[in-house]
A and B are shown apart, each in its own frame.
Chain A
Amino acid sequence: MNFEEHAGKALLRQAGIKTPAGMLASTQEQAEKIAADIGPCVIKAQVPTGKRGKAGGIQLAASPQQASQQAGKILDMEIGGYKVETVLIEQQGRIQQEYYAALMNDSNSKCPMIMFSAAGGMDIEEIAETHPEQLRKTHININKGFDESTALELIEGLDFEADSKKLAAVLSQLYQLYLSNDAELVEINPLVLLEDGGVIALDCKFVLDDSSISRQQQIAQQGTPDKLTWLESQAKDHDLKLVELDGDIGVIANGAGLTMTTMDVITYYGGNPANFLEIGGEAYTKATEALKLLLGKPGLKSLVINFCGAFARTDVMTDGIINAWEELKPDLPVFFSIHGTGATEAKVMLQKRLNMHSYPTMDEAVQAAIAVKSRG
């Protein structure tokens, strides 16, 4: 789950990391008032996505009038598919140097990984390319942790003007924040040295591990739920995983791997999948709901149902599909491929109740679905 900058910064402050003085505004009037209080300021679009600066979503303002003007422009924008509804207005500071700091779950080492660069203010790929000698990273033994002394070892010898103890303190606080909030990623870019010697976070990206939401409900309320289409949120209410796509061939399959593969095979033979819809695991009895959902998607020309039973039985899934089919009697060509546990029973059921059959391979079912002429 992604967090907007202001929500991430609230977590930084709780951990003891300083951020500029600032407030949220959702109207030009509010922006003007805040700017009158804090002086020259930065106005930043609050959307849970990157590249805000490049999109024009971050602007400077020297006066309250200018703040109102800029806020008006930004509040009109859409960035990365998100309509900007609030801006964060922060005091401008006198910056001496910019750094980069991040902590993340690292799949390769199976450990937390911390990164620090004495060059910051650009994205990490660019830092790695242009200033590799200023970038340090290390894997953390989660049982030993990461404190100020290990932080000092990490940054030793890098080219920075900040007090090394202050930087080490920030890195150690960042690790505590990462650990206690079940972060997948927390990134400060840039972390800056001010002319008065202070070290503060000018930006913050925080991503909460989705598997930890159940035990981090309080902070999860500050996060931004994934932007879902109407159909996707209906599916979520039924505990089904659905991703809507642009194509015209509907897909229902069991298990993430098989569902992705069905989409791949449709694409390989020149068709366009309309969705990802999985009824794996505990959800495999929900075939009825799954089919009803998908039939609500406009523009489908055909449907591929691909089941391969393992733990989940295909006769149970097929029974669910047939129930929905008998109830709704949809006017949609459907092509089945059924294999594995319960397949014999499922095929008999399909023949008896719908007078339909299952294709010998998913490739044949997919090719038949592609061959259907699109409507209108």
Chain B
Amino acid sequence: MIVRNTDRVIIQGITGKQGTFWTQKMQDYGTQIVAGVNPKKPGITHCEVPVFASAKDTMAEVPFDVSVLFIPPLACKAAALDAIEAGCKKVAILTEHIPVHDVMYIMAAAKANDAQILGPNTAGQVTPGECFIGFMPAFEASIFKPGHIGVISRSGSLGTLICLNVVQAGYGESAFIGIGGDPVIGTTTLDALKALDTDEKTKAIVLVGEIGGSMEEQAAEYAQNMTKPIVSFIAGRSSPPGKKMGHAGAIVMGNKGTYESKRKALEAAGVNVLDSPSDVGTALKSMLNQC
């Protein structure tokens, strides 16, 4: 999913410390925030928008397209189901450490209602020059600038470094899609790649992966038939097997989820896989010059 400034966005958990801070940042940047949710504080105004008891109540009064959740882990299932059942088709979940079974209930509801989920455990999505959702520093001119490079990342911190390198090389981003570091997530690497492939503004893509799972391998299959050039960096090459490296999804089990398997699949699809994220700028320059 790529959020636009024409999208009407609500914040579930708007009154919390993080919710308030990032709602203001999103508003300042151009995200169209139309309402907030807090079951205990319906009727108040917060960050200059009305607050409702639920996403369903909100939808009846103030229709919206996207919901962003700033909600603690054990309350996320109910909040996400509320948004999906209200008819919201795009739900972004930033929270880390949600029980995986709860995530599977959310995914089942999303599938049944034809909704897209971004995350959990995502830093969010930035459409430079237009709007952003989540907690990415869209407002930092050294990191985000309107342009034509689409960036996909499981990690927020590494994704930020990549974007910094993109801007330093003289480019800008069409969209940054943070997909999240959890083992079960809604928008996969492949989903994000398809979104950027069909996005008119995007001319080239940086795919930032991680050890664990098989999302990069699935994306590689699709990448084979793409014409837009792709540069990739996969984190975790030096991580010991069987150990969780910070992200719950970043773990090599037996021969599954290895760096080698991901690199091999991407290279076979014609993707330029880098040894260091600092090489992103140079790689983009040589690829875009060839086009």
Chain A residues within CB distance 8 Å of chain B: 105, 107-108, 110-112, 125, 141-143, 179, 182, 184, 209-212, 214-215, 241, 243, 245, 253-261, 263-268, 273, 276, 278, 280-281, 308-312, 339-341, 343, 361-363
Contacts and interface: CB of A to CB of B under 8 A. Distances in A.
Interface of B, helix, strand, loop or mixed by DSSP: loop
16 contacts: A125-B254, A142-B104, A142-B108, A182-B99, A184-B100, A215-B99, A243-B243, A256-B245, A257-B181, A260-B239, A265-B276, A265-B277, A276-B239, A310-B136, A339-B160, A340-B161
B164 A339 contact: yes
B20 to A, nearest CB: 14
A256 B121 CA distance: 12
B168 to A, nearest CB: 9
A255 B156 contact: yes
A280 B276 CA distance: 21
B100 A310 contact: no
A253 B244 CA distance: 16
Given A211-B73, A256-B181, A260-B210, A281 B161 contact: no
Given A259-B157, A264-B235, 20 more contacts: A105-B184, A107-B249, A110-B107, A110-B184, A110-B186, A142-B105, A143-B112, A209-B101, A215-B99, A243-B243, A256-B181, A259-B245, A259-B246, A260-B235, A261-B233, A276-B245, A308-B158, A310-B135, A310-B160, A362-B278
Q: Across chains A and B, which 4 residue pairs bring their CB atoms closest together, nearest first?
A: A257-B155, A255-B157, A256-B246, A257-B158
Interface string B49-93: 000000000000000000000000110000000000000000000
A108 B97 CA distance: 19
Contacts, number: 180
Given A260-B239, A264-B235, A265-B276, A340 B137 contact: yes
Contacts of A263: 238-239
Contacts of B155: 255-258
B238 A311 contact: no
Given A257-B159, A340-B143, A105 B123 contact: no
Contacts of A264: 235-238, 276
B139 to A, nearest CB: 9
A344 B97 CA distance: 32
A8 B275 CA distance: 42
Contacts of B183: 105, 107
Interface of A, helix, strand, loop or mixed by DSSP: mixed
A257 B276 contact: no
B276 A268 contact: yes
Contacts of A105: 100-101, 104, 183-184
A255 B277 CA distance: 15
B250 A260 contact: yes
B216 to A, nearest CB: 12
A310 B105 CA distance: 30
B224 interface: no
Could you say which of B104, B164, B208, B210 has the most chain A C-beta atoms within 10 Å of its C-beta?
B104
Nearest to B210: A257
Contacts of B186: 110
A111 B213 CA distance: 14
Interface in B90-120: 96-101, 103-105, 107-109, 111-112
Contacts of B233: 261
A212 B101 contact: yes
